[in-house]
Amino acid sequence: MQEYLPIILLAVAGFLVGGVYAIWKTAKLFALLLAVLAVLAAAGGLLWLW
């Protein structure tokens, strides 16, 4: 399971970025929260790989 965790984190980051793109025009504050979560997930996935 641990070898799949970075891939899962990067997939979650991509999903969150899609959510940011979809919701940006209607709820900017929530979109910014999703963007922060996406950055954290991507950073966690990349750091885990490194």
pTM: 0.89
Residue 5: pLDDT band (50, 70, 90) is: very high
- Residue 32 has what DSSP assignment? H
Compute the average pLDDT of residues 5-13.
Answer: 95
